[in-house]
A and B are shown apart, each in its own frame.
Chain A
Amino acid sequence: MRIFEDGNIGTAIDGSTASTRDGLNRRDFLKSGAAAGFVLALQLPLGNKAMAAAPAASGFAPNAFIRIAPDSTVTFVIKHHEMGQGSTTGLATILAEELDCDWAKVKTEYAPADTPTYKNLAFGAQGTGGSTAIANSWPQMRQAGATARAMLVSAAAQKWKVKPEQIQVSAGVISGPAGQKAAFGDVAAAAAKLPVPKDVPLKDPKNFVLVGKQQTRRVDSIAKCTGKAMYTMDVKLPGMLTAVIARPPAFGAQLKSFDDSAAKAVPGVKFVVKVPEGVAVVATGTWAALQGRKALKLDWDGGAAALSTEAMFADYRKRVGGAGAASVTRSEQTASGLKSAAKSVDAVYEFPYLAHAAMEPMNCVAWLHDGIIETWGGHQFPTFDQNFAAQAAGLPPEKVKLNTLVSGGSFGRRANAWSDFTVEAVNVAKAISTLPGGKVPVRVQQTREDDMRGGLYRPQYIHAVKVGLGSDGHIAGWQHTVVGQSIMAGGPMASLIKDGVDETSVEGVWPTPYALSNATVDLYSPEQPVRPLWWRSVGHTHTAFVMETLMDELAGLARQDAVAWRLNLLKEQPRLAGVLKLAAEKGGWGKTLPKGKAQGVACHFSFNTYVAQVVEVSLKPDGSPRVERVTVAVDCGVPVNPDQIAAQMEGCVGFGLAAALYGEIEIEQGKVKQGNYHEYKVLRIPDMPVVEVHIVPSTEAPTGVGEPGVPPLAPAVANALAKLTGQRVRRLPFARHKFTQA
């Protein structure tokens, strides 16, 4: 079937020819500890074979990840979703390293929905998140590349009647002992006839030519710099219509009635249909759909009119110490330690709801045809999206064909366990399919306001903490209470919640890398009509702020240097201590700064990666903070694509800074106040600091970098501000406070 005008479907979308270096993955999900239980916890059928994958190419396909064409073109099938984090390039780098192919000839395409073949080995489900893309793929992609290489070598050895050990492979050229040369394509057909060997030896890392090297460039730069990269927004199918949905104006509001006569009179509007999400206006183009939506007359009931984020904070503060706490950890010595303390900190911290606000507003194309439902979208979690699309369409999962395209950012938004934007597209496609002329593909497009006001936020949290220091300066007792919605509750991962504790609510507080005796941690997980979601670095977004600003305050009370204080509590944590020392050294920790500038520091362990940051902060004339410079030290094991690790650290700094400075979603009378970028401010270029990244050389297995750069940023800035102004921020964002230099 000819689909796109250029005859392609969901493949090779951004995979022109390569030049790279990669990255990692950015999304969040379960921390590695919980991830092992993921498969069992899923209340969804797994193991659905997908609709037919891309047509089998001629040539050599030794496994599900590699195809070699007779013209020697190498195509890698990428099992992770590309949201900008660079995992396409990262996975390609690992495959190419072991395959020894010509990097300039590498193409990439995205895997179809096929959980058994393309699952994330950290989850058991097909999906991208939790900064796991490189980590889970490292052994698997190495083996896939090495196996293919061994088969090409065997085929060449047979052809030249030499031993495989006498053959060399480099940059796509196979060389024999007597000067024989072959390209991959020359022996591909013969290799395809050989049995697939098992447990092929991997390269000695000292012979790596791509992994860890600077010359490996992103595979998608050219397509993304010329406007050619294909996002969901850009999908064009014959007869395709565009829909926007009129959604409830307040959480929980129900539609009482509607009048669509004026909407239907708008030129270009084809259908108006009621769907579970609201009322969909389906038109020949986006503008017509928007005009049609404007013309709808809708009568909603009030919904959750009492819902307000300020009232929620007040309610959360009242819960502390009351009934219904789940115990995360408990020490008998906490109370006595606090009682005997010579000095103490007693503080409540408040964190607002945060929207992801990815640049491409959520969207999906769906088409019911030939007894199947086919979708095009930023399918970050194909296992979920396939199952929920099937449910919505009333078809078995085998009748779902997902075409996964690159997406314009996610930061957690597309990894939702309800597949909201996929399901609504299927709902609209299904609703119009019974109408005359309605058996056509439809793109359901959220506007920026739909996306921003639709819930699925980083939950609002409070932390109430009491810490006591003994007269000798040691920590005598630590009482810590977290209140906020559980992200996993009510979804297919709810059974990962153990004894009332959703680990994603407390990760970063407990367990902690710091040697903390006498700690007691409690958790309250109230329910709200606002659906919560992972947001780049998940629980660490708030826990790191509390822990790392507290560490600074405690160091101050104990009259110790903030770095020395931490190092003293990290004696069993050489890698975290290592990045802290490196950031301190490279960032010139303790150097004399001109008046009006101060340094701050923080370190944090998340997603199995260690990051420390030293920041330099001053104040703008209006008293708001200006972050001038951030020195980052990161230990993520083997650095697969160093320049992309740096890129993720830079991006994490900017993303974390946006939330620290401005990020806040407020709800009043059940309605979200912020709808677009002028109300929900994000970072713009004048606010971007200089970022310097130092990567710790390592032979440990690689770990993620998409998220771990976010958590230390806000507390490092808060620590610098405290030094500069004497003011301690306990409620985010910083925009709520006016700072004056001490």
Chain B
Amino acid sequence: MLNIKVNGETREVESDPSTPLLWVIRDEFGLTGTKYGCGVAQCGACTVHVDGKPMRSCSAPTYMAAGRELTTIEGLQSAAAKAVQQAWIDLDVVQCGYCQSGQIMSAVALLAATPKPSDEDIDNAMAGNICRCATYHRIRAAIHRAAGSLTA
């Protein structure tokens, strides 16, 4: 049986190891902050971190996460993560909110790699995350704000 370390805790996986990680995270682990939006790596609603890198969990088989660190929105802990969430709250980025776990996961990964991103860096890193409510204007502003608070 496969073991996965999710949000710091090792868990056994009962599902077939080829099941997309998204459904194991949601249906088996009960971590429902990670969303389903398209199932084909188009929308980013299912974004999680595997060893700190963003990954579309709907299109990754579960065995790929074996022996690696899986982090979902529920397990965010880093200073960058807290800064991103705070900036999101300060600017009231969310509308329906359904895409926002994925947006935040992508933004946190961006700041980990690029602490002071330009607008272009943001566009490149976030282009895989659809927000149908089109909160993009505030997403850009919130990422800059979080970056500013981290380097201040």
Contact = CB atoms under 8 A, between A and B. Distances in A.
Interface of A: 5, 14, 19, 21, 82-86, 217-218, 220-231, 233-234, 236, 242, 267, 285-287, 357-361, 406-411, 447-448, 643-644, 647, 650-651, 653-655, 657-658, 676-678, 682-686, 688, 690-691
Most B Cβ at <10 Å: residue of A227, A286, A408, A655: A227
Contact of A359 (B23, B40, B92, B99): B99
A672 to B, nearest CB: 16
A225 B92 CA distance: 10
Given A86-B95, A359-B37, A682 B130 contact: yes
A408 B35 contact: yes
Q: Which 5 A-B pairs have the closest CB atoms?
A: A227-B33, A654-B134, A408-B98, A84-B96, A224-B97
B27 A227 contact: no
Nearest to A223: B97
A657 B137 CA distance: 13
7 contacts: A217-B89, A223-B97, A233-B32, A358-B98, A358-B132, A360-B37, A448-B43
Contacts of B140: 685, 688
A683 B136 contact: yes
A91 B15 CA distance: 44
B122 interface: yes
Contact of A647 (B74, B95, B101): B95
B41 to A, nearest CB: 9
A359 B131 CA distance: 7
Nearest to B34: A227
Contacts of A222: 89
B77 to A, nearest CB: 12
Contact of A225 (B27, B40, B85): B85
Interface string B29-53: 0111111111110110100000000
B110 to A, nearest CB: 12
A720 to B, nearest CB: 19
B97 A677 contact: no
The interface residues of chain B, by DSSP majority, are classed as loop
A233 B37 CA distance: 10
Contacts of A410: 96
Nearest to B45: A359
B104 interface: yes
A644 B133 CA distance: 13
Contacts of B16: 267
A285 B27 contact: yes
B123 A686 contact: yes
A27 B140 CA distance: 26
B96 A408 contact: yes
B145 interface: no
A650 B97 contact: no
Contact of A677 (B32, B43, B122): B43
A678 B99 CA distance: 17
B98 A236 contact: no
Most A Cβ at <10 Å: residue of B30, B40, B100, B132: B132
B138 A647 contact: yes
A683 B134 contact: yes
B112 interface: no
A97 to B, nearest CB: 18
Contact of B73 (A83, A227, A234): A227
Contacts of B92: 21, 217-218, 221, 643-644, 647
A691 B141 CA distance: 12
A621 B107 CA distance: 28
A242 B27 contact: yes
A644 B23 CA distance: 34
A671 B33 CA distance: 34
A658 B123 contact: no
A677 B130 contact: yes
Contacts of A654: 131, 133-137
Contacts of B33: 226-228
Contact of B94 (A5, A220, A286, A676): A220
B6 interface: no
Nearest to B142: A225
B97 A406 contact: yes
A691 B73 CA distance: 29
A695 B76 CA distance: 37
A526 to B, nearest CB: 30
A685 B126 contact: yes
Contacts of B134: 650-651, 653-655, 657-658, 683, 688
Most B Cβ at <10 Å: residue of A357, A359, A411: A359
B23 A224 contact: no
Contacts of A357: 132
Given A359-B133, A360-B37, 13 more contacts: A14-B97, A84-B98, A85-B95, A225-B93, A227-B73, A230-B32, A286-B36, A359-B43, A448-B37, A647-B138, A650-B138, A677-B38, A685-B129
Contact of A651 (B20, B30, B104, B133): B133
Contacts of A408: 35, 96-99
Contacts of B97: 14, 84, 220, 223-225, 229, 406, 408
B96 A358 contact: yes
A279 B35 CA distance: 25
A285 B88 contact: no
A690 B97 CA distance: 21
A286 B133 contact: no
B73 A360 contact: no
B60 interface: no
